[in-house]
Structure 1
């Protein structure tokens, strides 16, 4: 005989009805006495009770177990509530993490072909800013002293500011002073060779005509090889750029940070920015530089004598620079060959040749400085790192993916969006808005825009610099009210697709200074020490567990 226990209309274990016919009469009597709303609520409660008890939710069915006491049910209620709270907290945490950083940056080990990366843009800046034959800086009037103080390193801290802002005629005079006082391209570039253009011979006069273009930097007037049209700036700056570069003109680019070079064969060797098809020292740019030291002025340049060379881009190409000084042409070779190598540092002193390393799309006003001496063998190794973002992430907001594609944010002065260009663009705009002037070498939409000339102007520039840096920090943290109060976006996330260049410098007479740590300790070699979690388990087994087991076993046998 089977005894069944019933609770109300339901069987304890499976909640099946006792007898459909028997319960039908009883249910009909209840329905006649109850309202429709009460019947509906009871049916819902009965369905929920059956769902929770007969369902697959872990622990929930024990709450509705008829055979359990009240204490047991309360216990399971507490367990279920704690479990749900813990799961909810984890879900909220993961959701918040996804909304802030919905994807993870992963370094891809696949190499980028050399022909897919632009060759470095090389910017040459001689440490000779005002020629002796043009003007003796120690005998200038007050206005020209201010002009010289803008480009002469030794006069930078002599406080040669003016009491009034430069007028338009004086701005023209400043421009002519810098252009006429600086060395021309033909004064410093003796010869060059660019094998990627299928040229095997060294050329002289064609170097400046075909390859090098004037550009303003923090070091004054410089000359850039493989620079982008308009030096990567907007067409609005054309009138200003033509004031120091008559060949400046807008030109459309087929290359872009997001799309790269066009996939055509054979590739166009003249497409900007220039590139090489084969890696190696023999396939890069070779330049022989000359500097007439009789034009050097100690009052302007101090003891520094040489060049500032800025390099902006590339992968596995090579740059050979032969620099000569004086009238006797004492040749020395400065080599720049780019390939993947371990990152090492070598210190040097009394260097007179400076190399600026930057991407071809970035501005040249701030950069990593590498100093190279004249008349000495120098080697610079440049290793590019390419950053690429999957196009599928375009559906996410820039604040979520923490980067901008080129069509998502337009800058006022620069053609390409990069984090560096964005920060400088904001700096220039804020300076014009707050101080109503800019520095002489900054991009301008007109050659006659106001130039900062007084103490008040330069103090204002310093204030704006600090203000913009604070705004960048506030904008980086989304919860900051200061960052949210800006009328226009102040955050300068990096470009989603970009190329960054690491560089190393070597000299022919490298001498390691005492006390310097070895630059190659550690690094990827640590990955091959052979130690892992299994090694730790083996150590515990052989050193602890196995000896204890043997000692215990031996003691047991002795007792027996």
Structure 2
């Protein structure tokens, strides 16, 4: 076995310290001797700090290298841009690349900048016009014939709202004024009539809502039948046609009225809308649509709505009105007696208190009609309704109506706000079966709704923007309106009968006559068209660029070429993106 011998060597600390100091001195001497020859050979002045700290000298060398590289790239970029200016087709740029005086180059730089600024200004204006008003309304290039549109729908409302044989409104009001007792039935009739009578409303007890079925039944009983206040009708070549065949009862804001040439209620209202009995039942309309006009017509004389082929006094609709003088009721309405008449498109539900003219007893009224039609080209259909400022018939959904029109939209808006604020609707408004009818006790609430709607309409008109409170009822993209020029003269009906040796006229009756006809056999149509389509905008855009700078599609190709293809090819040919120096 071997014995392990441990030897302990002790080195003094002073000896170790001396060895470390000698090593550091040797390293510093070596660095100084290696730096000095390099500095002398490269002309670099070294300070004592540099000799003591060689890292500082390395940082300065890196900074110098980066500066030289930046200067190299800047010169290359200038050279590359000069090459572009010398070769581009854009006007004025070549003068920036020439070795001319600084003053000349500054002048050309200012001219080019001014030209680009002016070009940008006009391009922005054209773009704003393209975005805000791309649609223009212009006249069609040729006139349209009368048979392309229907004869106007004619709605007639008698100013006498009730037959005195059923209910004497004036007598009942007098009894209340004289503090006489009236029956419950008379009170109920008076409450119902107070919704359509301008005077005497305050004499009947207020009631918030009415029973809908009973209300319509009573109104139906009190109405004047069309046969009772007409003495014959004539349409086109059909002389002495029964007015009952042409006119159909309808409930409007003037109570019970009669309409001619209007679409059936199933073509106007949604299926959920409640209707009373046979009111507003007319012929079906399989051949006519407001957007497409008449289609698939096999017999031109059996179309519905009816249309007219000729203009003039003898080629329209003529109605002879009559009414017993004893049936006039001055208490309910104003002193004028006769009929309110409205002309409108067949698919529009009229509102007589907003659009009508009056036919008074003893007058012969002639209404010359001039149609105005607005169409919209298919190119405009792609724009948003806010941009083209109109709706197509089936574009905006209405709760109660199948077809959109501004008047239908406003009536629905009026209905919705009345229902929301008053918890009921007026008797002439579209409603479902469970919606209550406002009574005479809700008169103040209804007046408030009317006032608010007028205020919101004024705000909408003033702001010229969509207003959710006003239901956003824009014009129709395709629409027909009938402008009426009416004249009236005294009609001596009794003397006419005597002169023609007809049967004697009943002296107790009052008479009036209305004749409606087209003024001209053709009309001029307006049409919405594109003012600035994409092609027009591109042409104007390119024209301004060419006018101010000489810019073209090939100029754009040059820019793309100098920023992509040429750089890649320079790398392949010269190993540098700027290309050769010369």
Using the size of structure 1 for normalisation, the TM-score is 0.66
Deviation, structure 1 residue 127: 1.4
CA distance, structure 2, for counterparts of residue 272 and residue 42 of structure 1: 83
Matched, 1:202 2:257: no
Whether the 8 Å CA contact 1:236–1:445 is kept in 2: the answer is: no
CA distance, structure 1, for counterparts of residue 209 and residue 270 of structure 2: 25
Query: The residue matched to 2:342 in structure 1 has which SS?
Result: strand
Flag the structure with higher helix content. 2
Instruction: State the Cα deviation string for residues 434-490 of structure 1 (Å, max 9, x = none).
Output: 3221111112222x52122255x333333433444455566668896xx57x4x993
Whether the 8 Å CA contact 1:306–1:374 is kept in 2: the answer is: yes
CA distance, structure 1, for counterparts of residue 191 and residue 117 of structure 2: 70
Deviation larger for 142-151 or 290-299? 142-151
Deviation, structure 1 residue 40: 8.0
Distance 1:421 1:291, change over 3 A: same
Matched, 1:437 2:482: no
Query: The residue matched to 1:185 in structure 2 has which SS?
Result: coil
Among 72, 75, 96, the alignment partner of 2:128 is: 96
1:527 corresponds to which residue? Answer: none
Whether the 8 Å CA contact 1:235–1:250 is kept in 2: the answer is: no
Matched, 1:407 2:407: no
Aligned ranges 1:105-254 → 2 under 5 Å: 105-108=137-140, 110-137=142-169, 138-139=171-172, 141-155=186-200, 158-159=201-202, 163-168=206-211, 171-195=212-236, 200-204=238-242, 207-208=243-244, 210-230=245-265, 233-236=268-271, 239-240=274-275, 242-243=276-277, 245=278, 248=281, 251=284, 253-254=286-287
CA distance, structure 2, for counterparts of residue 361 and residue 100 of structure 1: 31
Query: The residue matched to 1:283 in structure 2 has which SS?
Result: coil
Instruction: State the Cα deviation string for residues 517-548 of structure 1 (Å, max 9, x = none).
Output: xxxxxxxxxxxxxxxxxxxxxxxxxxxxxxxx
Deviation, structure 1 residue 383: 0.5
Distance 1:58 1:490, change over 3 A: farther
Distance 1:286 1:454, change over 3 A: closer
Query: The residue matched to 1:62 in structure 2 has which SS?
Result: helix
Matched, 1:293 2:303: no
CA distance, structure 2, for counterparts of residue 163 and residue 301 of structure 1: 20
CA distance, structure 1, for counterparts of residue 419 and residue 438 of structure 2: 10
Distance 1:119 1:60, change over 3 A: same
CA distance, structure 2, for counterparts of residue 376 and residue 302 of structure 1: 18
Whether the 8 Å CA contact 1:388–1:498 is kept in 2: the answer is: yes
Whether the 8 Å CA contact 2:418–2:424 is kept in 1: the answer is: yes
Instruction: State the Cα deviation string for residues 388-408 of structure 1 (Å, max 9, x = none).
Output: 111122111111111111221
CA distance, structure 1, for counterparts of residue 339 and residue 199 of structure 2: 16
2:488 corresponds to which residue? Answer: 507
Instruction: State the Cα deviation string for residues 389-428 of structure 1 (Å, max 9, x = none).
Output: 1112211111111111122112222232122222222221
Query: The residue matched to 1:280 in structure 2 has which SS?
Result: coil
CA distance, structure 2, for counterparts of residue 265 and residue 47 of structure 1: 76
Whether the 8 Å CA contact 1:162–1:453 is kept in 2: the answer is: no
Whether the 8 Å CA contact 1:472–1:491 is kept in 2: the answer is: no
Matched, 1:261 2:242: no
CA distance, structure 2, for counterparts of residue 295 and residue 142 of structure 1: 20
1:491 corresponds to which residue? Answer: 472
Aligned ranges 1:449-488 → 2 under 5 Å: 449-453=435-439, 455=441, 457-472=442-457, 483=466, 486=468
Query: The residue matched to 1:310 in structure 2 has which SS?
Result: strand
Kindly tell me the number of residue pairs found equivalent between the two proteins: 413
CA distance, structure 2, for counterparts of residue 163 and residue 489 of structure 1: 30
Query: Could you list the runs of 5+ residues in structure 1 that have no partner in the other structure?
Result: 1-32, 313-358, 511-560
Whether the 8 Å CA contact 1:428–1:442 is kept in 2: the answer is: yes
2:507 corresponds to which residue? Answer: none
Deviation larger for 142-151 or 183-192? 142-151
Among 371, 379, 387, the alignment partner of 2:374 is: 387
Query: The residue matched to 2:368 in structure 1 has which SS?
Result: strand
Deviation, structure 1 residue 280: 3.0
Aligned ranges 1:336-355 → 2 under 5 Å: none
Among 53, 56, 59, the alignment partner of 2:89 is: 56
Whether the 8 Å CA contact 2:161–2:223 is kept in 1: the answer is: yes
| Structure with larger RCO (C-alpha < 8 A, sep 6+) | 2
Matched, 1:376 2:417: no
Query: The residue matched to 1:300 in structure 2 has which SS?
Result: coil
Higher radius of gyration, 1 or 2: 2
Deviation, structure 1 residue 109: 5.1
Q: CA RMSD in A?
A: 3.3
Query: The residue matched to 2:380 in structure 1 has which SS?
Result: helix
Deviation larger for 370-379 or 33-42? 33-42
Distance 1:238 1:78, change over 3 A: same
